[in-house]
Structure 1
Amino acid sequence: MRIISGLYKSRKIVAPKNLPVRPTTDMAKESLFNIINNLFYFDEISVLDLFAGTGNISYEFASRGSLNITCVDQDYGCIKFINQTAEAFDMPISTIKSDVFKFLERSNLQTNIIFADPPYSFTEEQFSKIPELVFQNNLLLKNGVLIIEHSKHTNLSNLKHYSYSKSYGGCVFSFFEIA
Structure 2
Amino acid sequence: MRIISGLYKSRKIIAPKNLPVRPTTDMAKESLFNIINNLYYFDEISVLDLFAGTGNISYEFASRGTEQITCVDQDFGCIKFINSTAETFEMPIQTIKSDVFKFLESSKIQADIIFADPPYDFTVEQFSKIPDLVFSNQLLLEGGLLIVEHSKHTDLSNVSNFSYSKSYGGNMFSFFEITE
The two structures have a TM-score, normalised by structure 1, of 1.00
The structure 1 segments of at least 4 consecutive aligned residues displaced by more than 3 Å after TM superposition are none
How do 1:20-39 and structure 2 match up within 5 A? 20-39=20-39
Q: Secondary structure at the match of 2:126?
A: helix
Give the structure 2 partner of residue 135 of structure 1: 135
Calculate the aligned-residue CA RMSD, in Å. 0.3
Q: Deviations over 1:45-89 (max 9, x none)?
A: 000000000000000000000000000000000000000000000
Give the structure 1 partner of residue 42 of structure 2: 42
Give the structure 1 partner of residue 148 of structure 2: 148
Give the structure 1 partner of residue 57 of structure 2: 57
Alpha-carbon distance in 2 for matches of 1:33, 1:80: 25
The two structures have a TM-score, normalised by structure 2, of 0.99
How many angstroms does 1:142 deviate by? 1.1
Give the structure 2 partner of residue 7 of structure 1: 7
Alpha-carbon distance in 1 for matches of 2:16, 2:33: 25
Name the amino acid aligned to 2:98: S
Alpha-carbon distance in 1 for matches of 2:38, 2:163: 16
Alpha-carbon distance in 1 for matches of 2:59, 2:26: 13
Q: Structure 1: where are the runs of 5+ without partners? A: none
Q: Secondary structure at the match of 1:15?
A: coil
Number of residue pairs matched by the alignment: 179
Q: Secondary structure at the match of 2:52?
A: coil
Give the structure 2 partner of residue 115 of structure 1: 115
Give the structure 1 partner of residue 100 of structure 2: 100
